Structure 1
Amino acid sequence: MTNLWNPITIGKLNLPHRLAMAPMTRSRALSDGTPGSLSAEYYAQRASLGLLISEGTQPSEDGQGYTMTPGIYTEKHIEGWRKVTDEVHAAGGYLFIQLMHAGRMSHPDNTPHHRKGVAPSAIAPGAEIFTPNGMMEIPVPRELSQTEIKETVEDFKKAAASAIKAGADGVEIHGANGYLIHQFFGENSNIRTDEYGGSVENRVRFAIEVTKAIVEEVGAERTGFRISPNAPFSKVDEGQSGPDLYRYLVEELKKLNLAYVHVMHGGDEELLRDIRTLWPNALLVNRPGRALEDIATDIDNGIADMAPIGAWALANPDFVERLKLNAPLNEPDKGTFFGGGSQGYVDYPALKK
């Protein structure tokens, strides 16, 4: 794992190693979307990972999908995130806030305005979602008009500005995992016949418009983009054109000179190699289910520049130290992943108390 401990520069950030904390929904925000009182402690505990990518954070009321998830579109949100970024910086880490618009993966009971979710097309995902009233079927979303698409781009732009105002070192655009931007990519979730549907170029258009707006607002060096090729989260299927869609997307992102692209790997090794060839800046690759001994394999093979980790970081605030010492790892408690208080959030033991 020698290469894992080599320093790297992401945008303008000088990082001590090639690990990072992947974004993970924890559902512990206040009811108005302000980060909860324990959030600053949670992220600061994990500052030794260097680059921390926050849980998905809604850029608007329409962007909320789940209960108790944080937002970054009001002054209270900014104040709450400022406490988080201050603590992370004091502990020596950096924080990118992930901007996540859930799109159709929502329920009226989970949002401040109690409206249905929005999407490229009025197609329900055929899935259930947790609400204050238990598990509920996700209703058919409302199709966004072209005017509303432009307004949503503006929402992302304002949210990015708010993240920087809150002290974040950058933002990650969530274009993966079945949420709004990914829904535009899917052949089965986007059946539009206008300039945002049909061809690869059209289905990628919204993602590029969002990214350009954010780059203009906060700078390319403060902007990352996450994708999940060939991973049918929330039943979004890019179809046979999927590989070409991602090659085109990465080529377009390359023109914008983003700080990084973050891949949630879905198993298409040829496409991953093509992305590596096409993408000149930092490439983060997260392989679900990989063994601990394989954590540096993609870096050693030149496929990736960084290896973001999820559950290992959740359960081990001192993961970096444990990995260097080959020390045993805490087991994640899946029962406390979402919602609740300090248990399973900030009470995982470190090697040194």
Structure 2
Amino acid sequence: MLNALWNPTTVGDIPLPHRLAMSPMTRSRATPDGVPTELNAEYYAQRASHALIITEGTQPSADGQGYPVTPGIYTDEHITGWRKVTDAVHKADGRIVIQLMHAGRISHPDNTPHHRQPVAPSAIKPTGTTFTASGLQEMPVPRALSTEEVAATVDDFRRAAAAAIAAGADGVEIHGANGYLVHQFLFPSANQRTDQYGGSLDNRIRFAVEVATAVADEIGADRTGLRIGPGNPRNLNDLSESDSHELYPHLLRAVAPLNLAYLQTGAGDEELLPTLRKLWPTTLILNRAGTDIATRAKDIEDGLADVITVGSMALANPDLVERVRTGAPLNTPDPATFYGGGAAGYTDYPTHTA
């Protein structure tokens, strides 16, 4: 069954030597200004044997930052920092795309460089707390973006995509899942707008379509991926989906003509997944969290996915690809070191020695 993993493929204009990719995972180890460091370069280069690295969520603007010490991609300093990462990955014969993640209302003024109120489709407070430098704090009521500001936010994604390519990335992924800004526009639990971005299915998908179109126009569709999250397991970030079986097919029909490099999705809605596979014209990348490699590889054999991604397994095993090939045992990830800190639990996981 694992034989399906080792067939080369192409994602957009990126040739992949096999089909076991690394999922985006927030690690919160950039500088306070959001600049990637040599430590980040080491971390990603260690994992360059994955077919494709999809980086941690990276804010396209100051408004887009949700958590402390996450990387940005909207200043010259960010570009210089990410260039260290991409050069290191390419030197190790890897391929890397930067995930553009605008957190929207899942934020706090203490976590952003300008200390302003978070922005969102509507002024609906998310339930829960978020990490800040001074500890856990309640997330505040966000400020609803004006119609003009929505257009400006689309341009933020466009500029961030251009900056990612200037930093040497092979492409970008637009984060449209996990309760962040693009996802927030899709459902009434976070979007109660009365302009052209709220209400009907066409209006609620409009922001996602405009962002995907702008990014593809800027850097090329063959360098642009989109992540969605039907089912939103555990109602991540207080985002409740409603008419998802109508909305997601509608979204894919609108985005498919762009011929993007890939769609990444989770398996949160098993009933909807085959429909999405049929509707999507290019590479489909699937993250079936919480399952073993053999189960995920079966999705490739069954035609449900073209490429699979792994999260914590890649985090804890820099040489995961070789371990899977040889059947070697896996390191156990340490959740206490997932977010923030230094090398511990980041670049010090051992490789396997036979």
Counterpart for residue 114 of structure 2: 113
What TM-score do you get using the length of structure 1 for normalisation? 0.98
Please give the alpha-carbon distance, in whole angstroms, between the structure 2 residues aligned to 1:348 and 1:195: 49
What TM-score do you get using the length of structure 2 for normalisation? 0.98
Please give the alpha-carbon distance, in whole angstroms, between the structure 2 residues aligned to 1:301 and 1:233: 29
What letter is aligned with 2:187?
G
Which stretches of structure 1, 4 residues or longer, exceed 3 Å deviation after superposition?
none
Please give the alpha-carbon distance, in whole angstroms, between the structure 1 residues aligned to 2:178 and 2:277: 20
Counterpart for residue 229 of structure 1: 230
Secondary structure (helix, strand or coil) at the match of 1:173 reads: strand
Please give the alpha-carbon distance, in whole angstroms, between the structure 2 residues aligned to 1:2 and 1:350: 23
Please give the alpha-carbon distance, in whole angstroms, between the structure 1 residues aligned to 2:293 and 2:299: 13
Counterpart for residue 321 of structure 2: 320
Q: How do residues 140-155 of structure 1 correspond to structure 2 at under 5 angstroms?
A: 140-155=141-156
Aligned residues of 1:105 and 1:125 also touching (Cα < 8 A): yes
Q: 1:133: how far off?
A: 1.1
Secondary structure (helix, strand or coil) at the match of 2:49 reads: helix
Is 1:208 the counterpart of 2:203 in the alignment?
A: no
Please give the alpha-carbon distance, in whole angstroms, between the structure 1 residues aligned to 2:217 and 2:14: 19
Counterpart for residue 36 of structure 1: 37
What letter is aligned with 2:241?
E
Please give the alpha-carbon distance, in whole angstroms, between the structure 2 residues aligned to 1:176 and 1:197: 18
Q: How do residues 79-158 of structure 1 correspond to structure 2 at under 5 angstroms?
A: 79-158=80-159
Q: 1:13: how far off?
A: 1.3
Q: 1:106: how far off?
A: 0.2
Cα offsets for 1:313-332 (capped at 9, x unmatched): 00000000000111000000
Please give the alpha-carbon distance, in whole angstroms, between the structure 1 residues aligned to 2:315 and 2:91: 20
Counterpart for residue 302 of structure 1: 303
Residue 238 of structure 1 is aligned with which of 236, 241, 251? 241
Please give the alpha-carbon distance, in whole angstroms, between the structure 2 residues aligned to 1:50 and 1:85: 15
Please give the alpha-carbon distance, in whole angstroms, between the structure 1 residues aligned to 2:148 and 2:353: 54
What letter is aligned with 2:280?
W
Please give the alpha-carbon distance, in whole angstroms, between the structure 1 residues aligned to 2:36 and 2:241: 33
Secondary structure (helix, strand or coil) at the match of 1:140 reads: coil
Counterpart for residue 252 of structure 1: 254
Q: 1:79: how far off?
A: 0.2
Aligned residues of 2:38 and 2:85 also touching (Cα < 8 A): no
Please give the alpha-carbon distance, in whole angstroms, between the structure 2 residues aligned to 1:169 and 1:292: 26
Cα offsets for 1:129-182 (capped at 9, x unmatched): 000111000000000000100110000000000000000000000000000000
Please give the alpha-carbon distance, in whole angstroms, between the structure 1 residues aligned to 2:207 and 2:13: 27
Counterpart for residue 293 of structure 1: 294
Please give the alpha-carbon distance, in whole angstroms, between the structure 2 residues aligned to 1:19 and 1:37: 25
Counterpart for residue 281 of structure 2: 280
Secondary structure (helix, strand or coil) at the match of 2:130 reads: strand
* Unaligned runs of at least 5 residues, structure 2: none
Is 1:48 the counterpart of 2:53 in the alignment?
A: no
Aligned residues of 1:286 and 1:308 also touching (Cα < 8 A): yes
Is 1:175 the counterpart of 2:176 in the alignment?
A: yes
Aligned residues of 1:50 and 1:92 also touching (Cα < 8 A): no
Q: 1:293: how far off?
A: 2.9
Please give the alpha-carbon distance, in whole angstroms, between the structure 1 residues aligned to 2:46 and 2:251: 35
Please give the alpha-carbon distance, in whole angstroms, between the structure 2 residues aligned to 1:203 and 1:2: 41
Two-structure CA RMSD over aligned residues (Å): 1.0
What letter is aligned with 1:183?
Q
Counterpart for residue 346 of structure 2: 345
Q: 1:295: how far off?
A: 2.4
Counterpart for residue 63 of structure 1: 64
Q: 1:352: how far off?
A: 4.5
Please give the alpha-carbon distance, in whole angstroms, between the structure 1 residues aligned to 2:289 and 2:49: 22
Secondary structure (helix, strand or coil) at the match of 1:296 reads: helix
What letter is aligned with 2:348?
D
Cα offsets for 1:13-47 (capped at 9, x unmatched): 11111110000000000000001220000000000
Q: 1:270: how far off?
A: 2.4
Counterpart for residue 265 of structure 1: 267
Aligned residues of 1:31 and 1:68 also touching (Cα < 8 A): yes
What letter is aligned with 1:342?
A
Please give the alpha-carbon distance, in whole angstroms, between the structure 2 residues aligned to 1:186 and 1:215: 24
The count of corresponding residues between Structure 1 and Structure 2 is: 351
What letter is aligned with 1:143?
A
Q: Quick one: structure 1 residues 174 and 315, their matched pair in 2 at CA, closer, same or farther if it must change by over 3 Å?
A: same
